[in-house]
Structures are given as structure tokens and as C-alpha cells.
């Protein structure tokens, strides 16, 4: 059987190569003693799989099929060590692959390198024939390091090794969205399961965001100085990696104070192991080539149901964002705001489309004018400081100063002066020509009648007169009135709303409220599967003009 090695050379495997299940003397004299030794060293027997033998995908196509739980062609591996006993059998938790049957050390190394290229989570391969052994580590840059006769791996070892030479920007690989999602999912599991410093969900999310910001800053500097070693990379030990990242975080705060305008944090609040694993996973990827919506989509991995489902926050898919912004036809004469901006999908896409239009114009100052426009006319508001921080970073990565992305409550205006003083300036009434947003919504997510009364939301009277009482009303509806206040006459509102607002008898008063404030200019169907996994409500994108 002939299989291409990672270097591109052809390696011929004999009957002892991939595809043969281990049996006979090798099983009795090599594998079983190795298993017992691993248990003696402190690994749990439940972390080890050899019966049935684990199968490594034969090709990238087979690996992709495995990720979707489809059947695939694979080579049997003599033994696999998983990160913990709770996840045995999951490819996401493969730590070490073992081979005992290759006829010699060099062929054993070749097999292990192939296996490690097919197992994205495995950190190390180990070969022995009972007399000699070799470890094959996959380094942060995807290359391999060989260590002969170091014995079986032991619990507590550092399996995430730095590259042989420091990474530069030219060493980085483009990050596809599926790769990013997989990486973020693994990081979430590492931090939730093992981090000893950060124990609250929101705190973990904030620290992961900080690591991403350090990585993006490192890539930005590296792009300008391609031969300079990157700041974001592994050191020899977990403690050294964490110390370096802490220094980089302090530098980032100094360079980009506007990103951290709402926070007082001084250091990364994760333990050394979590930081080291995050750097291992992210250091080889180029985050600057990732479109903002892809980074936002991957970041939603951290927005798990236990964090945000109760707050009505739903990720807006990129295809919805792109189409919606295109329909709104945003120009340099517009002033734009998203009062529930999340991670800035609409804002970044508006800026990207304006940059694209400027690039096509080929005017000498077109791109500079687009950046100036974004700096002066692109606004975002969100209650979640982590969303605000990430949005600022994404927009800054695109070239916008991002000074107009503000943390605050768009709805409860009575709190602005005391709790959110910046909102009073940013959200003056009738100052915007475009409002584009996907607000939180849901029957159980409401603005109380007392809040509505204090802020004089007429929509909470459900179409009644000024003498009618206020009611508790869904926050998605209140955002429509907030948009009405923000817009100048003739301004455009693009908003994602549940279809039920327009067709259910429970909202029969709503069209009347709209008629004297907006003209409906268009409705774009959003398939239910667009929000699958986030929201089950049927939604549309509605385009209104303020009368």
C-alpha cells in the first residue's frame, strides 16, 4: 500500500503499515505492556482505546465526513489516549496516538506524521517496538519534532510545543470559518472544564475575547513587519507563555485604549494552562484575512445557550447581514446606527460595502474618505461590554477608529445620564438617516410598563390614545419606536422582526401604530433555517421609511 507522507515523499508500507489490525506477538509483547505501564504512570484505563481500535481518516475528505458523523474510510490505530475518560471515542479529544507494528523506527515516524495530519486535536504520536521508542510532536506551526527514547508520555506533561523557530506573519495560514469554529469550540471546552482562575461564564467569555484581541493586534503588527517574530506565540513552558501574553495585554491596553474604555481589567484572568492551549490553537492562524462576520460567527461558539438564550440574543447569519446591508444601499451621505449591535455584523458589513464601492470608484481619496465616514458616521450600541469590545476590535481591524461603539442600554433612556452618559450624545433624536438592527425579541423578553411610562414609549399603549394605560411590551417592538426617534424624516429603518407581529391577532393594534410613523418599503423573507440553532421564530427583514 502506498501513502503520501506529509513531506510529499512516497513511503511504501509493508503488511505492517496502516490498515492492519494489531494481533499476535506485537499485541502481547508490546501493546498490552504499554497499556499497563500507562496506567501505572497515572493515566486512567478509561482514557485508553484499543478495542475496538480507533480509526484515523485516510484523507481530508474522510476527515470532513467524520466531522459530520458520516461513515468514512480509516486506518486502525493500535492505541489512542484521550484527554479524559468522559470524552473517550470523540475525535475532538484525541491527545496521543500510538503505533507498535511498523517494522522500523523511520516507518513508524512516517505513519505517525500521517496520523497527526488527520487528527486535528492530537498533540503527539508515540512509536515503540518494545526496545526503542520515539515521540513525534506536532508543533504550533504544523511541523513535527522527534524525540527518541524519552519513554511513554506521563500525566501533567506539556504536549503543546512551540515551533522550532519563532513564527512570523508569513508563517500564518488563512483561517476558514469551519476551522475557527472548531478551534473556538475546543478552547471553550478547555477553559470550562479545566480553568482554575475564571469560573463564571461571562468572565471566561471576556478573557477569551481579550486573547482574540491580543492575537489580532499581533497579526496587525506582523503584517506591517513580516520578518519580525510575532508577539502571539508559544513559549517553552505554560508559565512563560502566560507571562508573555500578560505583557502583550498591557501593551494592547496602552495602544488601543478606546477598546477598553468601559473596563478596568489589568491582566488576563485565566490560568497558565488555558492561556498556553489558546495560544497553541490560535498562533498559526491569520485572523486578519477572516471576514468580520466569519470571526463573529465563530465567536458565537462561546455564546452558548446558557449564556444568552434567556436574553433573546441571536446571532445574525452572514448571508442575512450581507443581503440586508446591500438592500439598505448605504452611502457616504448616510449616518448609520445599530442600537443592538451585538458583535457588529451590520456595522462591519456596511463599512466593507462602502470600502468596496470606494475601491471601484478609483478616486485618489476614495478609501480615505470611506474610513473618515466610518469614523464619523457609524455607530453601534450594545448592553454587553464583551460585544462592544469585540465590535470595536473588528472595526479597528478594518481601519475604522471604532470610537462610536458604545456600551449602554438603548431602550431605558431615563438611565442614560447616570449610568450611560455617552449615550445622551450618541443617540440624539432625528440624527440618523439609517437604522439597521436585529434586536432581541421574544414573548418573555419585555420592557415593563413602568419603564415604558418613564421613557414615554407610545407603543406600550398598544395603539391606544395618550390617556390609555401602559402595558408590558416585547422589547423588539420597543426597538422600533427607538429607531423612529433616532431617524430623521425620510430616514430608513432595516430591522429583523418576527412575522407574528404582523399577522397574529394579539398584535392587531400594531399596524395602526406603524401607519402614522412609517411607510413599509419592502419585506425580505428570511428562511427559518437561517437562524437554526439560535431561534425558532419565523422572521423577515423589514424596510421602513420614516414619515
pLDDT tens, 89-135?
Answer: 999 889 999 998 767 888 889 999 999 999 988 999 999 988 899 99
Task: Report whether pLDDT(170) > 80.
Answer: yes
Phi-psi region of 435 (alpha: psi -120 to 50; beta: other; left: phi over 0): beta
- Going by C-alpha positions, the residue among 270, 283, 8, 19 that lies closest to residue 138 is 283
- Going by C-alpha positions, the residue among 433, 406, 441 that lies closest to residue 535 is 441
Task: Report whether pLDDT(325) > 90.
Answer: yes
Residue 31 CA to residue 498 CA, distance in Å, equals 59
- Looking at residues 313-342, what average pLDDT do you find? 88
Percent of the chain beyond pLDDT 70?
A: 86
Residue 12: pLDDT band with limits 50, 70, 90: very low
Per-residue pLDDT, 315: 66
Q: Could you tell me which residues come within 8 angstroms of residue 391 by beta carbon, excluding any fewer than 6 positions away? A: 341, 342, 343, 344, 347, 348, 380, 382, 402, 405
pLDDT tens, 133-157?
Answer: 999 999 988 899 999 999 999 998 9
**Which has more confidence, 259 or 65?**
65
Per-residue pLDDT, 540: 93
Per-residue pLDDT, 5: 35
Of the listed ranges 122-126, 321-325, 360-364, 481-485, the least confidently predicted one is: 360-364
Average per-residue pLDDT in the chain?
Answer: 85
Strands (E), 265-342: 285-286, 336-338
CB 379 within 8 A of CB 400: no
pLDDT tens, 266-281?
Answer: 889 899 988 998 999 8
**Which has more confidence, 88 or 534?**
88
Per-residue pLDDT, 13: 34
Per-residue pLDDT, 15: 36
Residue 483 CA to residue 7 CA, distance in Å, equals 58
Domain 25-148: which topology?
tt1808, chain A (3.90.1570)
Per-residue pLDDT, 402: 65
Residue 17: pLDDT band with limits 50, 70, 90: very low
Per-residue pLDDT, 199: 60
Per-residue pLDDT, 302: 66
Residue 346: pLDDT band with limits 50, 70, 90: very high
Entry pTM: 0.73
CB 179 within 8 A of CB 172: no
- Going by C-alpha positions, the residue among 349, 314, 299, 318 that lies closest to residue 539 is 314
Give, in words, the CATH class of 310-546.
Answer: alpha beta
Looking at residue 161, the DSSP 8-state letter turns out to be P
Residue 534: pLDDT band with limits 50, 70, 90: low
CB 542 within 8 A of CB 495: yes
- Looking at residues 193-218, what average pLDDT do you find? 79
Residue ranges of alpha helices (H) inside 101-237 are: 105-118, 177-194, 201-224
pLDDT tens, 292-311?
Answer: 766 776 666 665 533 444 44
- Looking at residues 428-443, what average pLDDT do you find? 90
User: Within the chain, which residue ranges are assigned CATH 3.40.50.150?
Assistant: 310-546
Per-residue pLDDT, 265: 82
* DSSP reduced 3-state for 125: strand
Per-residue pLDDT, 309: 41
User: Within the chain, which residue ranges are assigned CATH 3.90.1570?
Assistant: 25-148
Place of cell 414619515: 547
CB 436 within 8 A of CB 335: no
Task: Report whether pLDDT(18) > 70.
Answer: no
Task: Report whether pLDDT(4) > 60.
Answer: no
Highest mean predicted confidence (pLDDT) among 83-97, 311-325, 389-403: 83-97
Residue 400: pLDDT band with limits 50, 70, 90: low
Amino acid at each position: 500500500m502506498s501513502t503520501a507522507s506529509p513531506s510529499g515523499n512516497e513511503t511504501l508500507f509493508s503488511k505492517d503499515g496502516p490498515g492492519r489490525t494489531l494481533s499476535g506477538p506485537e499485541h502481547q509483547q508490546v501493546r498490552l505492556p504499554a497499556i499497563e505501564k500507562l496506567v501505572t504512570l497515572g493515566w486512567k484505563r478509561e482514557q485508553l482505546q484499543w478495542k475496538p481500535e480507533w480509526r484515523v481518516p485516510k484523507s481530508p475528505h474522510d476527515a470532513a465526513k467524520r466531522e459530520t458523523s458520516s461513515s468514512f474510510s480509516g486506518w486502525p490505530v493500535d492505541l489512542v489516549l484521550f484527554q479524559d475518560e468522559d470524552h473517550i471515542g470523540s475525535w475532538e479529544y484525541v491527545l496521543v496516538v500510538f503505533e507498535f507494528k511498523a517494522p522500523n523506527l523511520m516507518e513508524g515516524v512516517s505513519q505517525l506524521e500521517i496520523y497527526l495530519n488527520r487528527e486535528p486535536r492530537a498533540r503527539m504520536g508515540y512509536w515503540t517496538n518494545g526496545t526503542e521508542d520515539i515521540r513525534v510532536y506536532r508543533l504550533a506551526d504544523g511541523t513535527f519534532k522527534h524525540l527518541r527514547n524519552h519513554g511513554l508520555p506521563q500525566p501533567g506533561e506539556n504536549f503543546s510545543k512551540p515551533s522550532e523557530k519563532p513564527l512570523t506573519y508569513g508563517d500564518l495560514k488563512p483561517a476558514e470559518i469551519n476551522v475557527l469554529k472548531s478551534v473556538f469550540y475546543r478552547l471553550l471546552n478547555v477553559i470550562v472544564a479545566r480553568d482554575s482562575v475564571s469560573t463564571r461564564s461571562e468572565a471566561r467569555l471576556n478573557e477569551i475575547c481579550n486573547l482574540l484581541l491580543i492575537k489580532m493586534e499581533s497579526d496587525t503588527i506582523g503584517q506591517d513587519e513580516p520578518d519580525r517574530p510575532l508577539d502571539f506565540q508559544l513559549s517553552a513552558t505554560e508559565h512563560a507563555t502566560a507571562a508573555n501574553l500578560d505583557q502583550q495585554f498591557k501593551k494592547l491596553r496602552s495602544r488601543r485604549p478606546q477598546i477598553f474604555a468601559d473596563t478596568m481589567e489589568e491582566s488576563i484572568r485565566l490560568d497558565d494552562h488555558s492561556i498556553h492551549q489558546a495560544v497553541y490553537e490560535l498562533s498559526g492562524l491569520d485572523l486578519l484575512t477572516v471576514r468580520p462576520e466569519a470571526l463573529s460567527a465563530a465567536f458565537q461558539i462561546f455564546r452558548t445557550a446558557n449564556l444568552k438564550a434567556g436574553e433573546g440574543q441571536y446571532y445574525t447569519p452572514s448571508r442575512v447581514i450581507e443581503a440586508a446591508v446591500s438592500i439598505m444601499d448605504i452611502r457616504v451621505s448616510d449616518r448609520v446606527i445599530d442600537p443592538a449591535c451585538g458583535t457588529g455584523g451590520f456595522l462591519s458589513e456596511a463599512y466593507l460595502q462602502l470600502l468596496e464601492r470606494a475601491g471601484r470608484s478609483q478616486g485618489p481619496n476614495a478609501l480615505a474618505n470611506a474610513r473618515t465616514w466610518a469614523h464619523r458616521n457609524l455607530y453601534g450600541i450594545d448592553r454587553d461590554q464583551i460585544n462592544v469590545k469585540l465590535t470595536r476590535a473588528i472595526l479597528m481591524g478594518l481601519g475604522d477608529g471604532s470610537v462610536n461603539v458604545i456600551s449602554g442600554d438603548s431602550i431605558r433612556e431615563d438611565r442614560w445620564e447616570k449610568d450611560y452618559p455617552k449615550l445622551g450624545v450618541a443617540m440624539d433624536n432625528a440624527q440618523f438617516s439609517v437604522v439597521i438592527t436585529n434586536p432581541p425579541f421574544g414573548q418573555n423578553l419585555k420592557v415593563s410598563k413602568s419603564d415604558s411610562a418613564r421613557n414615554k414609549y407610545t407603543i406600550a399603549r398598544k395603539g391606544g390614545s395618550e390617556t390609555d394605560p401602559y402595558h408590558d411590551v416585547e422589547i423588539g417592538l420597543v426597538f422600533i419606536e427607538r429607531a423612529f426617534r433616532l431617524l430623521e424624516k425620510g430616514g430608513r429603518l432595516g430591522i429583523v422582526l418576527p412575522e407574528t407581529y404582523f399577522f397574529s391577532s394579539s398584535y392587531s393594534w400594531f399596524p395602526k401604530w406603524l401607519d402614522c410613523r412609517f411607510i413599509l418599503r419592502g419585506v425580505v423573507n428570511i428562511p427559518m433555517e437561517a437562524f437554526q440553532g439560535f431561534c425558532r421564530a419565523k422572521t423577515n427583514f423589514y424596510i421602513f421609511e420614516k414619515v
